[in-house]
Chains A and B, each alone.
Chain A
């Protein structure tokens, strides 16, 4: 295998460029999840949200011929799972872990059923041209940095804006403060006269919308086609990245970039024929992003013992006064 080609100057630029692109769906989902978990809802349906978003964005883009319709449809798809998650976890207050797992299975089944009902079993899956990179004048001609950062599709730029905005909302607005408090001590939020359930509904919908957008970025911005379980565990990786990033959006984003780089690297190695000639099997490189994620979660939890975790994460909130006399 030609390691030299991968790690040459041009190789590294291509690698970094691809890494950023591949990181975005996971990054959006992970930052949405961060917002949601900060409110106290452990949303394990993230993979389902991402998958639903990917599917609806494909349908939207394919039938309208307009990629932006696909993006909006993707957000809607993620929101739909978000509504179900919030309904179960916040309104009905059933166990959040179970809700999440079951909704992933639900989304997997529903997208597969609908896709196959519409298109049947074909050897040539329907597809459209995904969004092209937009070279930003001037900036893209900066040596090194330019081709990495400024030759991306507009969806990548938009993703970064959304991620930074969510981080800002969480730490710089009154609502963000309330969200953080709801995940730490919901009784305090309740005593302050704020409806905890409503805050958690909103936070879950934020996760749904962002994961849906992430699914759209994957389809509209990269692949241009759909198949069953196309998100391949990115939602679960995103949940792991929230732990790695200690529930701080920008750190989580950093973790997602790391994941994207690993993914880009393994793709490059495969493309360069790694494993066929070398002693290392290419399945190892395929497994690499997952192994890296597991390793990163182990290190993050073992070192910090979860002390950054929102205190009330995963606990449903019941108003005390409704159940007890004194």
Chain B
């Protein structure tokens, strides 16, 4: 609260102070002057926030604006340096999730906090006296209560299933149920729509509205303007850790919000493009050339999810079933689909990191099914992995090393028995410049890079001159607008220069903005879809495409 004067952003307010807004429903949570820094970074700079009973309140801002940090403060995962929190008008100290739960606050994290090898019921019991040496409650009884709650709120989740058996949507419902099970009246959802199909998003928002109408108070963290407009009652905008404004949804517009979110008019257009996937680049490019990638009837298995208490015998699950697809040079072909439908396995199979059970992968006329990764890379395949810290970088090594990890024994970077450090450094210096990677020096470990810059390192390494196909998996996930624009622009340019690109993405906007053709991956099966939002959206949720590609409505 001492930092009020410092919060210069308050000048920007376009509406009255938070406490004056609204229709008089009682305030259940009031956060005042919340300030928190991590090292040099001021993540929250005197932020105010309030939540009324029965409303859906959207917390809007770019990546890094401080939305999640603010909510982590409310949930007790981060302690604020300054500021006060009131629940139901009483000042409270929330020193951990326990305290938050005790005050009726529940949180659904973006990365679910469920243990895959435990059942839903066990996961729910976990948060309840986890350090007591007492007998476990009767799990059948817990399951029954879960089902009661599911029925009441329309959140179907089987209580005795293992979490690893559930779809992403079911896992999210399990998270919400867990909060409700522990009597949450205040529900925080961090980016709840990021991993859902359009239909699931709609259904979720409907259920949340129902819960709000029944008296729960809900906070949604998001950066999607359209969802905000369609579901929220009020919206609070944060930017670079500062409070910007609180608005009523009914009294604002997407472009107003966009301006508040990014601050500068310059980036507003970019944001709207990123948000809508307006096809700025699509369709303007040269004609697609000859096919470079031809995948025929590819089948592969997923990793077994086992455990001492293995749930069932289906430990060899099919991850990809009889997949056929083609990519030509000079085109971007998208694979749409919700995370967990075989995308990760598809990346791995193409790279030679996962065994091919049957089928063919032909790149430039060479059959690569069963080839080693090094052979695949040598054949002209570039790779931007979806999990950039697992497959993309050796974080502890210097940036300069990361830019050549797939070529350490190739000229000019070295041979079997030598390394050319000068060439490695020169390569790094030139790539850091041409990809405008923000790094102190080529020697800095890659771990110190921000997400966007880490992705640029991978992009720079992948786009070798001798490439014939680029597999780009979730190339912009978690990046801020500037970095997204950079990556998109770069991919378009490579496409125009004749590279074939296979874009694996869960982001419909990205697909609309980049791709010419689109396949949809659903439960390991691939179907081609026409390039329009509704068809793709339906297919992502498993609606049957007819042979002609028509979507039955």
Q: Residues of A with Cβ closer than 8 Å to B?
A: 169, 172-178, 180-181, 184-185, 187-195, 198-199, 246-248, 251, 304-305, 307-308, 311, 319, 321, 323-326
Partner of A173, one of B107, B109, B134: B134
Complex contacts, B111 vs chain A, CB 8 Å? 187
- 13 additional A-B pairs beyond A188-B113, A311-B117, beta carbons within 8 Å, are A169-B133, A173-B133, A175-B130, A177-B118, A177-B130, A178-B131, A181-B130, A190-B113, A192-B126, A193-B76, A194-B130, A251-B308, A311-B116
Main secondary structure of the interface of B (DSSP, over half): loop
CB distance from A217 to the nearest CB of B (A): 25
B90 to chain A minimum Cβ distance, whole angstroms, is 21
Q: Could you name 19 residue pairs across A and B whose Cβ atoms are closer than 8 Å?
A: A169-B133, A172-B135, A174-B132, A175-B134, A176-B136, A177-B122, A177-B125, A184-B117, A188-B113, A189-B126, A191-B113, A192-B127, A193-B97, A193-B101, A194-B126, A307-B306, A321-B78, A325-B64, A326-B43
Q: Using Cβ atoms and an 8 Å threshold, which residues of chain B touch A307?
A: 303-307, 315
Contact pick for B77, options A181, A199, A321, CB 8 Å: A321
Contacts of A247 in B (CB 8 A): 308
Q: Which of B77, B116, B131, B132: most chain A CB closer than 10 A?
A: B131
Report the bound CA distance from A216 to B384 in whole Å.
56
Q: How far is the CA of A238 from the CA of B315 in the complex (A)?
A: 28
Closest to A320 in B: B77
B115 touches A188 (CB 8 A): yes
Give Cα distance in the complex from A189 to B114, angstroms.
Answer: 9
| Interface residues of A, dominant DSSP | helix
Q: Which residues of B contact A324 (CB under 8 A)?
A: 38
Residues of B within 8 A of A173 (CB): 132-136
Report how far A323 CA is from B111 CA in the complex, Å: 17
Could you tell me the distance between the alpha carbons of A247 and B307 in the complex, rounded to whole angstroms?
9
Question: Could you say which residues of chain A place their CB within 8 Å of the CB of B63?
Answer: 326
Point out the residue from A169, A172, A178 that lies within 8 Å of B130, measured CB to CB. Answer: A178
CB proximity of A223 to chain B, nearest CB, Å: 34
CA distance A195 to B76 in the complex (A): 13
Nearest chain A CB to B55's CB is how many angstroms away? Answer: 24
Q: Within 8 Å of chain A (Cβ to Cβ): is B25?
A: no
Residues of B contacting A172 in the complex (Cβ-Cβ under 8 angstroms): 135-136
A238–B526 alpha-carbon span in the complex (Å): 47
- Which of A169, A178, A188 has the most chain B CB within a 10 Å cutoff? A188
Once the chains bind, are A325 and B126 in contact (CB under 8 Å)? Answer: no
Q: Let me know if B113 and A308 touch, CB within 8 A.
A: no
Residues B43 and A181 in contact, CB atoms below 8 Å apart:
no
A52 CB to closest chain B CB, in angstroms? 26
B66, B130, B303, B305: most-surrounded residue (chain A CB, <10 A): B130
Question: A192 contacts which of B97, B133, B308 (Cβ < 8 Å)?
Answer: B97
Point out the residues of chain A lying under 8 angstroms from B96, CB to CB.
Answer: 193
